[in-house]
Structure 1
Amino acid sequence: MTRSLRVLIGCATSCVAMDAFLARGHDAWQCDILPADRPTNRHIQGDIRDVLADGWDLLIVSNPPCTRLCNSGVRWLTEPPKNCPREATEAEAEAWPHMTRDERLGVMWAHLDRGADLFRACWQAPVARVAVENPVMNPHARARLPVDLPRPHIVQPWWFGDPAFKATGLYLRGLPELQPTDKLTPPAPGTDDHKRWSAVHRAPPGPERWKIRSKTFRGMADAWADQWGGYALSEVAA
């Protein structure tokens, strides 16, 4: 009988990556503090740290909170935003309009610490094969993480047949780098196609912007399931 893997897709609500592994016969689950985007009995709603030790063969953390960890958000650590950040707690959101600049900066640095703590917990999870998605980190975030953390493996959705630009950093432990499967030819800058491919970066401000920017592309999810799933199976069977 062919062995299946126990796979956890962390910080995910879309079911895209979970479905890719399920389609290949694996015992796949996803976990997030938010509910799943569609009805499923394979979504664990809660803190991923509570289930990291539940005997997984493969852990993929697809969209961990990264706003404070990445280079694009580093400016808010020296000058806090006027609007309360989306990841603020209810108490922080209520107090934000009345906070001083230094108090707001304190909240932003606390969010950096929270994000680094979650990343570290996932990276050091008791799982033999781990992939954590995160953009290139700012120096403050990097200083809060293990010294042996490797450089991220950068891939693009268009390497896997998805017509989109989104440089995706993958921190890998016990897994090989992904190989392109259906590489497209990017459209020229200034064309309508280029604008369409840039939809993630051009997403307008609003309550759904975070979801657009954290989208898991189907072609990339298939590559995870085929390449990482296949690699993990070969190791487990050895």
Structure 2
Amino acid sequence: MGRVLVACEFSGTVREAFLQRGHDAWSCDLLPSPTPTNRHIVGDARDLLDQDWDLLIVAHPPCTRLCNSGVRWLSHPPEGRTVEEMWDELEAGAALFSDFWNAPIPRRCIENPVMHKHAKARIRNYRPPAQTVQPWQFGHGECKRTCFWLDGLEPLTPTQIVEGREQRVFRASPGPNRWAERSKFFTGIADAMADQWGSLLPIRQEAA
């Protein structure tokens, strides 16, 4: 089966979906895995992009400065921060997205919220997202609009449309772990990726 790199994911949700279907899947993040595994690499995923992958999925890249909902901070930064810091973080976020979007990997998916115009202008070879998905299309009764930038892949087909439009993540109480809850990937979407995109990958003798 194929070689899959899941970047910006420490939870292992997407990695495990592909592993369960026999793919040689690895996750990489600056944070360690919360559970024991030999399939997670701690570090900058950009250092791994030239290692002959068949599929790159960027599950939850840092997007605070890229997303449209936070564009106001570029002119009116939060207390204790400066406008210069906000723009520096925007440049860093756009550079990260650009490196993934232009990676030498034949099939790529990058997850991100809707972007503002300043972010789009800074991304190399920018194209609009190929699709927008919601958790309730894949078995989760929640709302969390997510855009997928795709190259070499077809948009996902919904697998299980369910009732319920709860905005659980958006309404999560403030606290030290809120960021982790907001970045959690939905298992139904991960399973759809593994089933639909995994079937496109070449068979490799060395795969797990």
Contact kept, 8 Å, 1:6 with 1:27, in 2: the verdict is yes
C-alpha separation in 2, matches of 1:201 and 1:130 = 27
2:149 alignment partner in structure 1? 171
C-alpha separation in 1, matches of 2:126 and 2:179 = 30
Distance 1:7 1:112, change over 3 A: same
> Where do 1:89-238 residues align within 5 Å?
104-186=82-164, 194=165, 197-233=166-202
Q: CA deviation at 1:146?
A: 2.7
Unaligned runs of 5+ in 1: 85-103, 187-193
Contact kept, 8 Å, 1:57 with 1:128, in 2: the verdict is yes
Contact kept, 8 Å, 2:136 with 2:143, in 1: the verdict is yes
2:206 alignment partner in structure 1? none
1:27 alignment partner in structure 2? 24
C-alpha separation in 2, matches of 1:152 and 1:136 = 12
C-alpha separation in 1, matches of 2:125 and 2:194 = 29
How many residue pairs were aligned? 203
**Paired residue type of 1:206:** G
C-alpha separation in 1, matches of 2:114 and 2:152 = 20
Which of 59, 65, 68 is residue 65 of structure 2 equivalent to?
A: 68
Query: Can you list the C-alpha shifts for 1:11-34, whole angstroms capped at 9, x where unaligned?
Result: 001111111000000000000011
Contact kept, 8 Å, 1:136 with 1:152, in 2: the verdict is no
Backbone CA RMSD of aligned residues: 1.3
Q: Tell me, what secondary structure is at the counterpart of 2:201?
A: helix
Higher relative contact order (CA 8 A, sep 6+): 2
Runs of 4+ aligned structure 1 residues displaced above 2 Å come to 231-234
Q: CA deviation at 1:147?
A: 4.2
- State the identity %: 53
C-alpha separation in 2, matches of 1:73 and 1:13 = 24
C-alpha separation in 2, matches of 1:152 and 1:145 = 16
Unaligned runs of 5+ in 2: 204-208
Q: CA deviation at 1:231?
A: 2.3
Structure ranking higher in helix proportion:
1
TM-score (normalizing by structure 1): 0.82
Which is higher, the Rg of structure 1 or of structure 2?
1
Q: CA deviation at 1:152?
A: 4.1
**Paired residue type of 1:110:** D
